[in-house]
Homo-oligomer: A and B are copies of this chain.
């Protein structure tokens, strides 16, 4: 088969790990899953009920392609109140998950093949895949472990060239769980290029306050959604906040690709943002308890933590001294002691020698995972 434009789009290695883990489970093996980037909690009750109410009352038709006005207004208001900014519903587009929002943004920013988007390595694997799908070039910056693998403004500045169409930031980050310092977000926002800020892990922070790119520039494209903070992955509901002048093109793409977001799902989104949910605080506390446990235990296993992760639900640990081939290491751990983690190479060349450990699993299972890792090291 000839070279296909899609050949540059890589499958997620984490899916290989998951599939192998499931295959082992089918053979009767016990597997501890610390590879999955999905909340282990249920969607808060009131959100579920509002989805049910909408279904029952017949909200089963197309909506405005941008999403229902109530939800767009709720999103704009949520950002206004949380970050002290002046977002309005005209800046909001509701999408079926956060990934489609990124596809739309990059489709608008990458005007021609060869246009460049700057991003850190390690990265969330979709980022370069989407850029390449659109004929663009991902311009990687080797992020440093001591910087929490986050971009620094000076490095971004040096990478800007005539074909640069934007920079992607992600704080708190997948795979690292680290936050970018406020001054660095500000510094990047002041460089004069469009900033794509993936804020899907906002709300899941433990200590430090997270910051939106919209606090520092009106030229930000904010990606966010309901999957992580509200434990709504299966609902497929996300959104984009973008400069108003781009909204027409974004809307035309949305009409073509998706017609409109799901109708009754959007009612769940309204309830998520406009009511209080005790489950959210409870989830956050439990994530943090797991995080603090791992923060103590991982170093005892010899796993390096360059920068304390204070957000999302990941540790990105240095395991290069055990085996620098993270793919081989992850599969060896899985097969020998039944513990599933994600190879760092899934997130770029800079991720090699690392493992991503997710704590979107019960403290009990995490404890068992730590025990299994210890027994792996003993062998």
Instruction: Output the least CB separation between A140 and chain B (Å).
Output: 18
Give bound CA distance, A55 to B110, whole Å. 38
| Minimum C-beta distance from A340 to chain B (A) | 16
Q: Is the CB of B99 within 8 A of A231?
A: no
> Is B52 a contact of A56 with CB atoms below 8 Å?
yes
Q: Are B60 and A55 in contact (CB under 8 A)?
A: no
Q: A331 on the interface (CB 8 Å rule)?
A: no
The residue on B at minimum CB distance from A3 is B111
- Of B4, B63, B100, B234, which one neighbours A258 at CB under 8 angstroms? B100
Residue of B nearest to A236 (CB): B262
Specify the chain B residue showing the minimal Cβ separation from A252: B11
CA distance A111 to B1 in the complex (A): 11
Interface residues of A in 228-245 (CB under 8 A from B): 231-236
Q: Is the CB of B43 within 8 A of A234?
A: no
Min CB–CB distance A240 → chain B (angstroms): 14
CB distance A234 to B262 under 8 Å? yes
A6→B108 contact, CB < 8 A: yes
Q: Is A171 an interface residue (CB 8 A)?
A: no
B135–A99 contact, CB under 8 A?
Answer: no
Please measure, in the bound complex, the distance between the C-alpha atom of A50 and the C-alpha atom of B258, giving whole angstroms: 24
The range of chain A's interface size is 35 or more
B236–A103 touching, CB < 8 Å:
no
A256, B61: Cβ atoms closer than 8 Å: no
Assess whether A233 is in contact with B5, with CB atoms less than 8 Å apart: no
Q: Are A60 and B38 closer than 8 Å at their CB atoms?
A: no
**Contact indicator B252/A235 (Cβ below 8 Å):** no
Question: With an 8 A cutoff between CB atoms, is A107 at the interface?
Answer: yes
Using Cβ atoms and an 8 Å threshold, which residues of chain B touch A129? 256
Q: Using a CB-CB cutoff of 8 Å, which residues 48-76 of chain A contact chain B? A: 48, 51-52, 55-56, 58-63, 65
Q: Which residues of A are in contact with B by a Cβ distance under 8 Å?
A: 2, 4-6, 9-12, 15, 38, 42-43, 48, 51-52, 55-56, 58-63, 65, 96-97, 99-100, 103, 107-108, 110-113, 125-126, 129-130, 133, 135, 231-236, 249, 252-253, 255-265
4 A-B pairs with least C-beta separation: A234-B263, A60-B234, A43-B60, A236-B262
